[in-house]
A and B are shown apart, each in its own frame.
Chain A
């Protein structure tokens, strides 16, 4: 039963609100990004065309931010996917004691991100932190978790993993739950090993859901802000300065044209990622259906 014409009165308020709140700032941002606009010099706002964008081409700080963001996103999603997949397989076993434990695994996903990052900052503390104490106790040397340029990127990746492995776990686990069990029984009757039935039944049937989870997480990791802000603020130096942090810094310095230009570039990158991955996800789906 269709609602008919009345339907638009149900849809319009929400849709108009949603697109207005997203599209008006975006259009305004694109416009501001073509200006030399420094907040402390309100009289000196000049139209500069695409100069804010062309400058990125030979700005080492910008290219560094692109590299850092890519490393963080790829690393985080890879770790989270593998851990989530293993946990989902672990919890999909028909063992009764697993059910009540399941919810405990989800907690990090629901904790306030700033609070989660704060917990890890306490744990990572070079002198007072519990992690370095026990490293020392078992005879290893303490590590500068957040102050070493290379290790800092690994540390923020770990904290991101702590927070969002539950998401990967949940999505893949839900996918496993709805797989028809007859397939596995038939495979077992035919003498398939656990690995064979994983490789030839589970993986093909879950490809769509796994790609979807990677897609969503990839775009979330790309724009991660809270955890990096609390743990390192982009430092030491520019070691963990992702494009989001660079954008925040430009904003903090009052360079509105530049900040908006960085924002538009990240938006374009996320849109391309979204498009490419969507095609990869949707094509096999179309071929099957």
Chain B
């Protein structure tokens, strides 16, 4: 056996427990969502079974799932748009505009991400209560845009800096305004960056739990809060809970797989470029 063959075999063997650990929980809850009650509680655990859709139909009819889905989607899309607009403007500003404290301010933007959210949510709750914005889309939306924005800004700076300057200058000579250059020249060139920023902003909002738990009651309740609510020891509604969980993680899985190249670049950009 050649050394590379040996190495490949050993690596392959090492991958088995790694993949099992990583993927088993996802596999298990996905299959659970297609099992009958009997199959769910069967001992030994059933690996082969006839899939059924009852859990899905029950979740969709027993709780107002579509209402919660709409809440989650509206807030996530709003967060995406808000952080893209503000992030594009600020990212471009940082990429092309040097001022004395430029580096420090850019760093401060990142530092805002470090504050424990629990510190923010309690005063935020009291303030939203005063403003009558508890349990509204607006209350969550504003918070989520501020969560997604630092990353969007940092990511977009990286993409905007790479846009060739002479293209921009040529457009300015042709009479384009600064904003016109940004919209017509820079954004199309940096489009992949905007896609990554958009996905991350969407996921920040889609995944968020603490603020949703505390700020939303009935009207603006989002899906993670619903999942946590289905998760009780008293009556383990495992089938329904699994079905809801699978539907909630589906967009995440699809986005990750479809855009893996960009996601890897996006996540590591800040760390590697320093």
Contact = CB atoms under 8 A, between A and B. Distances in A.
Chain A interface size band reads: 35 or more
A22 interface: yes
B165 interface: yes
B67 interface: no
B274 interface: yes
Contacts of B41: 128
Nearest to A94: B4
Contacts of B249: 111-112, 115
B180 to A, nearest CB: 12
A15 B90 contact: yes
Contacts of B7: 93, 95
Nearest to A273: B114
Contact of A2 (B90, B96, B109, B228): B96
B175 interface: no
A41 B207 CA distance: 35
B245 interface: yes
B48 interface: no
B86 A256 contact: no
B111 interface: yes
A28 to B, nearest CB: 4
B105 to A, nearest CB: 7
Given A17-B149, A121-B231, A112 B224 contact: yes
A114 B224 contact: yes
Given A14-B149, A133-B45, A170-B264, A95 B8 contact: yes
Interface of A: 1-4, 6-11, 13-15, 17-19, 21-22, 24-26, 28-29, 32, 87, 90, 93, 95, 97-98, 101-108, 110-116, 118-123, 125, 128, 130, 133, 137, 162, 166-167, 170-171, 173-175, 178, 208-209, 212-213, 219, 222-223, 225-226, 229-230, 244, 247-248, 251, 256, 259-260, 263-264, 266-267, 270-271, 274, 285
Given A7-B99, A93-B7, A229-B228, 8 more contacts: A25-B123, A25-B127, A93-B11, A112-B224, A115-B224, A259-B122, A267-B115, A270-B115
